[in-house]
Amino acid sequence: MLDSIRRIKEIDSRDMLGMTAGMPNHLMEGFRLGSQTVIGGSDFREVVVCAMGGSAIGGDLACAWLSDSSETPCSVARSYSLPAHVGTDSLIIAVSYSGNTEETLSMADHVIDIGANMIAISSGGRLQELAGEQGIPHCRVPSGLVPRATIGYVFGSLVGMLHSAGVAEGASEIEGLVPLLEQVRADCGPGSGTADNPAKRLAHELHGTIPVVIGYDLSVPIARRWANQLNENAKMIAFSDQLPEMNHNGIVGWVGDSLSQGFSMVFLEHNRCDCRMTRRLEATKAMVGERMHVFSSSAVGDSNLDKMFSLVMMGDYVSLYSAFLRKVDPSTTEPIEELKRILSKKSR
């Protein structure tokens, strides 16, 4: 099934595979657009990304990257209002691919009310209009894509804006990332047969199970991305967790409950961690492996950004191949649209 381009095209109505293949170019273009955004102010105490869904994951990845490349703390707000610690010396980045995300617009209004510094990223919509009305710097990314397939544009724009704001440098890392992701694309893309394609093989392994994706240190937000992509693209129940926290609670259920046999655990591995984490990782895999299927996906590359996005791209491919095995179109998200319709009726 997964080696038949014809059969895949019959399912993939909006060419999600093509959007995933474009990630290297999306990152470079996003960085260029973000870097061109003129940002006032300096010496920001913190960065807060206001976003939901795939846009918020871009913020999670930016925060993970910043934690090792900048002294400025970064967090992500996923709500209708801002946390109380946000003030006039904070840099707020409102991100909504459509520009119409209800929660993000509500947080943007809150930023305006308190007079904090704000910049915005969208493909248009109300967020762009609001930025124009309020004189807020705005980075417009290309429209017409499925929002969760714009991770390259969102993350690249965030790094470009942070570069422009003097919070962190990112140009060389973004440029170095492109050839690495082109290799991941060659290894995991549809033209690579199942026997040699790690993403296709893992999708087969996970088929018929409930995946739980485990991250640690810099792969924690990527585990969340994997689970979300499996949810939306493959219409699968999937979850994420993290080490070492899981060893203080979740492991009891995974080892002690016979229902865990219906799950598969995927560990997102890299070598940027304390040696104690390495021992903990191996011990955890051995214990849960007595109850359930255990798999690993290993990062490649040298920099933190290399390792992060090699895992992101791998996970995106796994989710798409999982969708094709289940014969579902990865671009649709009808339950989300239905919920929006319900909420829209109740707010009238």
CA distance 132 to 207: 47
Residue 92 phi, psi (nearest 5) = -105, 130
Among the listed residues 200, 232, 269, 270, the single catalytic one is 232
The single-letter code of the amino acid at 260 is S
The alpha carbon dihedral of 268, 274, 278, 283 has a sign of negative
232 is catalytic: yes
Query: Residue 279, Cβ neighbours under 10 Å: how many?
Result: 10
Residue 202 is encoded by which pair of tokens?
A: 């893992």
307 is catalytic: no
Q: Which residue has the tokens 């610690």?
A: 85
Among the listed residues 248, 334, 345, 346, the single catalytic one is 248
Provide CB contacts within 8 A for 157, sequence distance 6+: 30, 31, 33, 34, 37, 121, 139, 141
For residue 96, give the nearest of 48, 128, 74 by alpha carbon: 128
Among the listed residues 9, 85, 327, 340, the single catalytic one is 340
340 is catalytic: yes
Q: Which residue has the tokens 């033209």?
A: 191
The alpha carbon dihedral of 156, 161, 164, 169 has a sign of negative
The secondary structure of residue 120, as a DSSP letter, is E
Query: Residue 43, Cβ neighbours under 10 Å: how many?
Result: 9
Q: What amino acid positions are annotated as catalytic residues?
A: 232, 248, 340
